Amino acid sequence: MNSCFVVSSFKVASNRRGANLWKTAFSAIAGGVVGGGVVWFLEAGPLRLVPVGMSYAELAATLLASVAVLLAILGFFIAVLAVLGLSQFRGMVRKAATDTAKDHIDERLLEGDLKEHFENTAASFLNTQFKSGTLRRLIEERIDQVVYGGSAQRAEENDGNQTTE
């Protein structure tokens, strides 16, 4: 039942697209015919360029200046698109570099020499901290903060226990 609904929906959607395509094509052709008729009616003859009160040198200079202005405007828009494209390109490069770096580090952590280095460094750090007692004090302080709300109570209890022993 669902597949029939999907097929019939697809046919309806494709028919709508086809109808829209024909409407668009008809509108474009009709617009071209009407526009051409208006130009032909207004000109009432062949189209020709007649400079009024200008020499051909002045006309050429005017046309070249207008082309230069159009090229400047086009260049501005291309520059804006280039800046937007450059920022998007930077974002893509940054993402690719980050992904590649993460993959490389993950690979080295799982099976490379970096894993051994971290394990050795962590083991030596924990050994020195256990031997000096600073890690034990730090762990006790954190536990006291969670359990008692402070290490002052624990210190008082330890002082009392040490004198009785």
* Separation between Cα atoms, residue 30 and residue 36, nearest integer Å: 10
Q: Nearest-CA neighbor of 144 among 152, 133, 135, 136? A: 152
Q: Is the pLDDT of residue 148 over 90?
A: no
**Alpha helices, DSSP H, located in the chain:** 2-43, 56-111, 113-132, 134-147, 152-164
Give the percent of the chain with pLDDT over 70. Answer: 73
Mean pLDDT of 5-25: 59
- The tens digit of pLDDT for each residue in 47-100 reads 566 657 778 888 889 899 999 999 999 999 999 888 888 888 888 899 999 999
Q: Is the pLDDT of residue 138 over 70?
A: yes
Q: Is the pLDDT of residue 130 over 50?
A: yes
Lowest mean pLDDT among 40-44, 50-54, 150-154: 150-154
**Is-above-0.85 flag for pTM?**
no
Would you list the domain boundaries of the chain?
1-48, 50-111, 113-165
